[in-house]
Structures are given as C-alpha cells and as structure tokens.
Structure 1
Amino acid sequence: MNRLPVIPTLLVALAVATMIGLGIWQLQRKEQKDALLSRYESAVGLPAVIWPTDPDPAALPLFRRSSLLCARVVKIETVSGSNAAGKAGFAHIASCRTSEVEGPDAKVAFGWSERPQSPSWGGGPVEGIVAPHGTQHIKLVSTDAVDGLEILAEPSPRQIPNNHLLYAIQWFIFAAAATIIYLLALRKRTKAS
C-alpha cells in the first residue's frame, strides 16, 4: 500500500488554496472597481469643481470639469495620446506652477500633435476635464485648442480597464493546473511502485 507523501501534498494543497484565495480576492476587487467606475461615470455630468491644490487620493474629482491658472510652465513632456478624432499621436503635458510664487504643481495636458515636436506654451488659464495621472494623481486635460496643436481626446471612465475577472479566472486555472499536475505525478508514482 502506497502512502500519500505528506510534505509535498501539504505544499501543493497550500499553493492551491493560495491560488483559489487570490482568485476570490480578484472577484472582490472586480466588484469594487465596478462601483468605482460607476461613480466616475456619474461624475461626468456634474458641475465643475475647484482645482484641488492638494488632491486627496481617496476622493479624487475625476472626470469632473475644472479650471486652473498655469502661472508658469516648469517643463513640458510628450507622451503617447489620441486627439478628439481618436487618431494616435502625442499628448503634450505641462508641469505648471499655479501661482507666480512657489505654488503647488499641476499637470496640464494642453494639446495633441502627430509628431513628438516640442511645443512652446507659456501657460495661462485652462479649462478642461480632470483625469487620472500617475504619482500626482490628477491632471487637467484642456478642452480648448492651443496654438498649433489639436484638442486631445476627452478623458472617459470607459478608458479605465477592469481586468479583475480575467485575473480571477487566471488564478483558478493555475489552481486547477497545479491540482491536475500533482494528481498525475501521484498516479505515476503509484504505477512505478
């Protein structure tokens, strides 16, 4: 009579339980992301907000209209982006001081071009839509054209992916594969005995 190897069985059982737990966690994350995206979708038609100088990551006014004064352009970076017609190209984003003195920085996506040219923009009043932006959390995407540049695509909650269901399925497949491989290994071991 062959005995079940205790330590390998415990290790595989622990790994499979962890993968199933991760799959369940991803399903919970999917529900949270659905609620967040629904909140963002409902924010689209709300009135404009005052530009937050110190945005709270837990309560960002994403996809709301806002405005700010870009008093001084500190630097301009160029990243990939789309114009209002959906054509791929380059978005130009300025780091702005919001006052002449050392006021807080604000990111302003001020225009689109087909080539990664280095546009010159001196700042000024900007109206637009609040969109997500990396470590600074938010940027203002201008809804007006700047000299020589086209208007960027309007930010939309539909651009934010919700892949948590796929991640959950992936973890469940890993758990099933690990179980099947281990059972096949046990079967081979039993036949060899």
Structure 2
Amino acid sequence: MRRIPIISTIVVTLAVATMIALGLWQLLDRLPRKEAFLVQLATNPAKPVIAFPRDADEALLFRRASAVCPAPTSIRLAGAGASGYRAIAECPPAGDQPALAVQLGTTRDPNAHPRWAGGPVVGHLAHAPTGQSLIGAALDPAPPRLMLVASPPAAGLQPNPAPDVDAVPNNHLAYAGQWFFFAAVAAIIYVLAVARRRR
C-alpha cells in the first residue's frame, strides 16, 4: 500500500481552503454589501434633485439630477436591448459642471439621426456605456462613468426606461455556490485519486 503523497495533499488542501474562503467572502461580505447597496438605490429616485455630480459615485445611481448642455458635440446610437437604440449626446463642460453624457431617449430605427440643440435637462443617473469588454471593465480601476437619462425624452424619441433596481446584477450568492462547488469537486477528485493510488 502506497503512502499518501504529502506535498500533493498539502497543495490540494490549500487550494480547497482557498476556494472555501472565497465562497465565504462572497457569502458573508460581498452579498450583504450588495444587498445594502440595492436598498439604497431603491430609495434614490424619491430623493431631491441634485446637480450632475463631478465625481462618478455609484451610490448616486438612480438619483434624480439636472444639468445644462450648452450644445452637444455629438449624438450617437447605442444598443438598448428590447427598447431598440439609445440616443446619447455628449456635452462639453459648462461652468462648474463637468462634461457629461445625456441619454436623450430611445428609438427602434437603427438609422435614426436624432437632433437636439442642448439646454436644461432633468432625469436620473445611470452608468454610461463604455464599450469595454467584461474583462476590461473588471480590470479598469476607474469607477464607471455616470450619465443623465433624460425624462421627458427629447423630441422625436421614445421615453427612456424608468430606474429598475432588479436590472442591477447581484450574483454574489451564485459566486459563493460556484466556489463551494469547485472546492467539493477538487476534494472528491483528489480523494478518489488517492484511493486508487493506494490499491
């Protein structure tokens, strides 16, 4: 009967312990934080209107905000899923107000050329599209850029969707389950391998 391989056992034990620790981190730290964050977001639409913020603070998502766009430098279309396409205007800085993106409304026409001369706009804060891949966004240390989602929409466009907390991903419970599953699979495979080796 062969001995249990000590080095391999240590390596696998450390790997399993690490995966369990990552699962507990997702379950006991990340999940409660995200749930508290979602509760805050759910209350943001009812809070008073603020000026468009200079800093990209995710705690302000869904908060009502106002801004003034002197004249947009460009208006482009971006995919909006079931709503078709979003018309997004890029606005230059104005006084103390930083440069910002304004989602003017939606359209189902991929060849639409929305027109908007700028001016005062009110709406809620949301993440601006970045065009980054999921990996690129995860590795980017900068906070996601905020944009103003106009309400009402600009002339000729359909209304923007209302803020929806359910659209904010909360996958930490699933991530915890994955880490626990990986730990269990690694442990079972190693136990079976050792049992076969000792025959």
| Closer, same or farther: CA 94–136 of 1 in aligned 2, 3 Å | farther
- The structural deviation recorded for 1:80 is 1.7
Is the CA contact 2:151–2:159 (under 8 Å) kept in the aligned structure 1? yes
* Superposition CA RMSD, Å: 2.0
Partner of 2:85: 90
Normalising by structure 2, report the TM-score.
0.84
CA distance in 1: counterparts of 2:41 and 2:159, whole angstroms = 22
Partner of 2:175: 167
Task: List alignment gaps of at least 5 residues for structure 1.
Answer: none
Partner of 1:119: 114
CA distance in 2: counterparts of 1:136 and 1:175, whole angstroms = 33
3-state SS of the aligned residue for 1:148?
coil
Provide the aligned length of Structure 1 versus Structure 2.
Answer: 184
Partner of 2:23: 23
CA distance in 2: counterparts of 1:56 and 1:141, whole angstroms = 15
Counterpart pick for 2:102 among 105, 108, 112: 108
Q: Which runs of 4+ in 1 moved over 3 A?
A: none
Q: Deviation digits for residues 30-75 of structure 1, max 9, x if unmatched?
A: 11000111111122211111221x2153x64221211111112122
CA distance in 2: counterparts of 1:190 and 1:166, whole angstroms = 36
Q: Partner amino acid for 2:116?
A: W
Partner of 1:45: 46
Normalising by structure 1, report the TM-score.
0.87
3-state SS of the aligned residue for 1:158?
helix
Q: Deviation digits for residues 62-119 of structure 1, max 9, x if unmatched?
A: 212111111121222322226xxxx4301111111242x7962111100100022232
Task: List alignment gaps of at least 5 residues for structure 2.
Answer: 131-142
Partner of 2:11: 11
Are 2:151 and 1:143 aligned? yes
Q: Deviation digits for residues 6-40 of structure 1, max 9, x if unmatched?
A: 11111111110111111011111011000111111
Identity %: 39
CA distance in 1: counterparts of 2:52 and 2:179, whole angstroms = 41
Q: Deviation digits for residues 126-172 of structure 1, max 9, x if unmatched?
A: 11111233555311100112122111101222210110000000000
Partner of 2:190: 182
Partner of 1:158: 166
